[in-house]
Structure 1
Amino acid sequence: MKRLIAYIMLALSLAACKKQNVKDTGPTTVVTPPVTGIIDTSRTSWWQKAKFGMFIHWGVYSVPAGIYNGVDISDPGSGHYGSGEWIMHNLQIPVASYKEFAKQFNPTAYNPEEWVQLAKDAGMKYIVFTAKHHDGFAMYDTKYSDWNVVKATPYGKDVLRPLVDACRKYGLKIGIYYSQANDWINKGAANGGFWDVAQNGSMDDYIDKIAIPQVRELLSNYGDVLEIWWDIPDEMTTARAAKFSPVLALQPRTLTNNRLNQNWTGGDFDTPEQNITASSGGRPWESCMTMNDSWGYTKNDKNFKSSSTIIRNLIKVASLGGNYLLNVGPDANGKIPQPEISILKDLAGWMRINSESIYDTYASPFKFTPWGNATTKLTADGNTNIYLHIFNWPGGEKLHVPGVKNQLLSASMLANGKSVNGINDDTGITLDIPVGPVDNISSVIKMVVKGKLQVEVYEQGPEANGSFILSAAAADLHNPNGWDDIHVENEGNPNLGYWTNPWAYATWKIAVKTPGIYKVQAEIATEAGATVMVASVNGEAVQKTLTSTGGYGSYRLVTLGNLKIANSGSVTFTLAPDPGNWQPVNVRKVILTP
């Protein structure tokens, strides 16, 4: 227990050196927020300013489209639930049987210029294409395996080449996904479970004779590549990963993600998957997400997100300083499914009006705003634009922007240019807003303030009765070693979810007026038989063993214990697992009651 508290206190001291936030009610220390999420180097600057890209998962797996021998992997009740591109693995399809699908892959409707135009219209600046996924099938003309689109299909043509040409024609950059360590067809790399003797072989031979030569082809034959997107580094030791260095040197400006080696470290950017979580330490990051539940085309997966959700996801990613990589999964004919086209067209409509508030922006300086998110941009004349993305239009005709110390120069609705009146006051800026929103997805107000942005440190003050209600959305999240750890989910009623890393934790800065003993309660949901949660302040801690509430959607208010807060003023409250006794828990809020 003491070791856990010591770890948390050390982590908090380090985090405090890195993080600046905005004030709600508390001390008035003025700080200049860091421009988090932007590292302006010659290698990363264009990519980080671009903000938005298209992921394309396309391959032989689009032929079975999620169904094999009567089993539909898009059905959660099938016992083999999963994404379309994992069908060979999930259903343990023999190599010879899976290879038969290539004989049916003949995408005569493939029109890469249509794909690129859709991406460009939607506001995307780059495309990342699956040159080879885990089934080992190369979607280009490779000399190092006959298991490729040219030699193994009736289509008989390289599909990557015309996509690269179309990207360059329409001004988009091209990135390449390559599964370097999982290959269920080429011998030696069926990591995650060999189920066919045809997969047997040497992993090192696979790396030396297939993976490295193919990456060399991709970096030699297709012009400038924006990024290489590695995936799932099973068995990818430091020595094996190092073998790729000479090949990557062919294009030293090409970015790489953090999935090359088995330590999930290194590379130029991190890759939260299916969630929006900013990387710690200011590392660049790119959140990749699907439109439905599957990456590869899955015929019966109709669980598409709304256009509103996807547009707001883009905004949230930008407001945290990251990039958004949104996936499409074309079918075996080469057509992007109509629901995905409809979403892209809705994105196009919103971005035509509001793209200024996304491109070339910095992260929000505000810790928590109930009305939505924000992005910022430095102007050529030394002032700052603040873009307020309003999801929840206030009930009255006033909108408060907390903690801004700069003089307000102007404010207007980005959609129609109509002026919005506003005044500076002691707590920030208050705007006189229209009665209703101009856009039900996100109405954007553009504020221009004088000089480089200055805000006040965010500290949550007590309620009228002296209690603190700490929401999931207002937490600072700390993920010491993971790309898919604790994050905020569920827009309507947010919670801390996917808390799988026992070393990840959440903190809140609070402004204590009345020291004393506080009852600590948390609204939680879990399936755990037994899991231990720890609450702490300034070295004082309480812990509670939590048991199942009935599932991750069944919330219950649980008392963790009584915690002494000895001093008034600025205090950091921490909620953390006991690393030795942890199973995931969802948390909606924490209540501290004197």
Structure 2
Amino acid sequence: MKTFKKSIVAIIALMATINTGYSQNTSDIKKLSDDERMEWWRDAKFGMFLHWGAYSIIGGERGDQIAGGGAEWAMDKLDYTIEEYEKFPRMFDPQLFNADDWVKMAKDAGMKYIVITTKHHDGFSLWDSKVSDYDIMDTAPFKRDIIKELAEASRKQGIKFGVYHSIVDWHHPQAQGNLFPNYNAGQKDQTVINPEFPEYYKNYLKPQVKELLTNYGDIDVVWFDGDWIADYTTEMGKEMYSFIRELQPNTIINNRVDKGRKGMEGMDMEGNFAGDFGTPEQEIPATGIDEDWESCMTMNGTWGYKPDDTKWKTSEDLIQKLVDIVSKGGNFLLNIGPDGYGRFPAQSIRRLKAMGEWTDANGEAIYGATASPYDMPEWGRYTKKDGIVYAHVFDWPEDGQLVIHKNIKLKKATLLVASETEISTNKIANGTVLKLPKEAPDQSVSVIRLELR
């Protein structure tokens, strides 16, 4: 097993002096109010999640075994010992990785921010960490700081940049590295603990978070995971939240920094928990929620690269999910699992292209929009912005008659993609009928702009 190359004393001394050209003096930063801090995120609506690491080499397979669930859990699901798994970071050499290309694909898809896994549960770090030698610079042959390259590419192209970081660590002996073969036993059995976890939290987890928050410029989102283990307490979560806000006062932090979320539903239980937004996972709330939230979702069934998983969601389904989420007041964080060479799967690229074409034409009805003030119609969804209501039609009526909500005081209706063509209307008892063209402008979702009186 790899040894950690710094003693605790050396780590603490080193953390005080780290400077890679990005360190910030927080006293010079204008501290925004919570609404000001959240404003860009609330307007953005659409982001890219990137699950990538040494597990991307494995692809969720070991001989004739296939990992159940996500391929990023290969170390646990395929029963690798720490020593067996360490060969994959030593092989991780993604020569086809190009940060500018990745960011451009996100931008062209209509995404406004990126969140990358800096360290997943396997413990391998994608940046040049001075706290550990189990990272991209010391263990892997690649010898390039992936987080640095993506952060710079994002800023260059005007995309917000965020970091995912796992509280869980299956490699570190003071975290879960002593639980082989079931590294994640503590997820379901809260009696499984490591009494040394507080030392890991103080001398490894927090110093690594500090590196990410001080050496790579503005970090716009900090996305935690692994909050389910009993070792991690709500006191630690609140301390971590305050620690991060001291380092970067204007960053946005998800609710998994604390212990309050209700499972995959992602929203907080009643109580005082730290975190700026809820995190529904692989699901969309049935109705709107009067809090900030973001639904994270895969394109197929796994977060990490897994060629065996061919159950891809259609582009139409993903576009409709984006609309559904925005209509309920949320954000959509859509995942890509690049392979071990640094390539996006072709299936992901095709879906990103389709979503980019749709958002390019219909972005007015998405970015900066708020939740619908009306009940969900059978034919689609509503969003609202600046006194305009947008009717997103999933099921184009065969007879060309679309009934909109009776509380919409309509002044004028036009197709968003052909705004010069006004749609004729007819008032009826339970609403207003729009007389639409026979053919839908878009097979995924067609948008009608409803100007209010």
Partner of 2:376: 368
Question: Do structure 1's residue 432 and structure 2's residue 435 form an aligned pair?
Answer: yes
Partner of 1:409: 411
Aligned residue identity for 2:342: G
C-alpha distance 361-192 of structure 1, shift in aligned 2 (>3 A): farther
Deviations 1:380-427 (A, max 9, x none): xxxx21111111112322211122252x22111112222211244543
Distance 1:171 1:253 in 2: 17
Partner of 1:348: 356
Distance 2:246 2:362 in 1: 38
C-alpha distance 40-421 of structure 1, shift in aligned 2 (>3 A): farther
Partner of 1:220: 214
Deviations 1:203-231 (A, max 9, x none): 11110111100111111011111111111
Distance 2:34 2:92 in 1: 43
Distance 2:407 2:234 in 1: 47
The SS at the match of 2:218 is: coil
Partner of 2:254: 257
Distance 2:179 2:136 in 1: 25
Distance 1:289 1:44 in 2: 21
Residue 170 (structure 2) aligned to one of 160, 179, 184: 184
Partner of 2:309: 301
Question: Do structure 1's residue 127 and structure 2's residue 127 form an aligned pair?
Answer: no
Question: Do structure 1's residue 160 and structure 2's residue 180 form an aligned pair?
Answer: no
Distance 1:191 1:100 in 2: 16
Partner of 2:198: 204
C-alpha distance 40-361 of structure 1, shift in aligned 2 (>3 A): farther
- Aligned 8 A contact 1:278 1:285 in 2: no
* TM-score normalised to structure 2 length: 0.84
- Aligned 8 A contact 1:57 1:296 in 2: yes
C-alpha distance 112-319 of structure 1, shift in aligned 2 (>3 A): same
- Aligned 8 A contact 2:288 2:371 in 1: no
Partner of 1:310: 318
- Aligned 8 A contact 1:187 1:201 in 2: no
- Aligned 8 A contact 2:122 2:169 in 1: yes
Question: Do structure 1's residue 49 and structure 2's residue 52 form an aligned pair?
Answer: no
- Aligned 8 A contact 1:138 1:148 in 2: yes
Following superposition, the deviation at residue 297 of structure 1 comes to: 0.7
Residue 394 (structure 2) aligned to one of 391, 394, 401: 391
Distance 1:106 1:405 in 2: 56
Following superposition, the deviation at residue 103 of structure 1 comes to: 1.7
Question: Do structure 1's residue 59 and structure 2's residue 53 form an aligned pair?
Answer: yes
Gaps of 5+ in 2: 1-32, 184-192, 262-267
C-alpha distance 278-223 of structure 1, shift in aligned 2 (>3 A): farther
Deviations 1:277-319 (A, max 9, x none): 1687611000000011110111221111111111111111111
Following superposition, the deviation at residue 249 of structure 1 comes to: 1.3
Partner of 1:195: 181
Distance 1:304 1:238 in 2: 37
* CA RMSD in angstroms, aligned pairs only: 2.0
Question: Do structure 1's residue 83 and structure 2's residue 70 form an aligned pair?
Answer: yes
Residue 421 (structure 1) aligned to one of 421, 424, 436: 424
- Aligned 8 A contact 1:376 1:385 in 2: yes
Aligned residue identity for 2:84: S
Partner of 1:320: 328
Deviations 1:292-347 (A, max 9, x none): 11101112211111111111111111111100000001111111111100100111
The SS at the match of 2:360 is: helix
Following superposition, the deviation at residue 153 of structure 1 comes to: 0.6
The SS at the match of 1:177 is: strand
Aligned residue identity for 2:245: L
Residue 231 (structure 1) aligned to one of 225, 229, 253: 225
- Aligned 8 A contact 2:339 2:345 in 1: yes
Residue 118 (structure 1) aligned to one of 97, 105, 111: 105
Distance 2:305 2:220 in 1: 25
Aligned residue identity for 1:101: F
Distance 2:63 2:401 in 1: 60
Deviations 1:546-574 (A, max 9, x none): xxxxxxxxxxxxxxxxxxxxxxxxxxxxx
Distance 2:308 2:178 in 1: 26
Residue 292 (structure 2) aligned to one of 280, 284, 290: 284
Following superposition, the deviation at residue 93 of structure 1 comes to: 0.9
The SS at the match of 1:140 is: coil
Distance 1:237 1:130 in 2: 22
Partner of 2:11: none
Number of aligned residues: 397
Partner of 2:3: none
Distance 1:59 1:251 in 2: 26
Following superposition, the deviation at residue 429 of structure 1 comes to: 2.2
Aligned residue identity for 1:389: H
- Aligned 8 A contact 1:135 1:183 in 2: yes
Distance 1:201 1:154 in 2: 34
Following superposition, the deviation at residue 432 of structure 1 comes to: 1.2
- Aligned 8 A contact 1:95 1:196 in 2: no
The SS at the match of 1:259 is: helix
Distance 1:222 1:91 in 2: 34
Over alpha carbons, which structure has the higher Rg? 1
Q: Matched residues, percent identical?
A: 39
Normalized per residue, the structure richer in strand is 1
Aligned residue identity for 1:243: E
Gaps of 5+ in 1: 1-38, 74-80, 379-383, 451-594
The SS at the match of 1:317 is: helix
Following superposition, the deviation at residue 157 of structure 1 comes to: 1.3
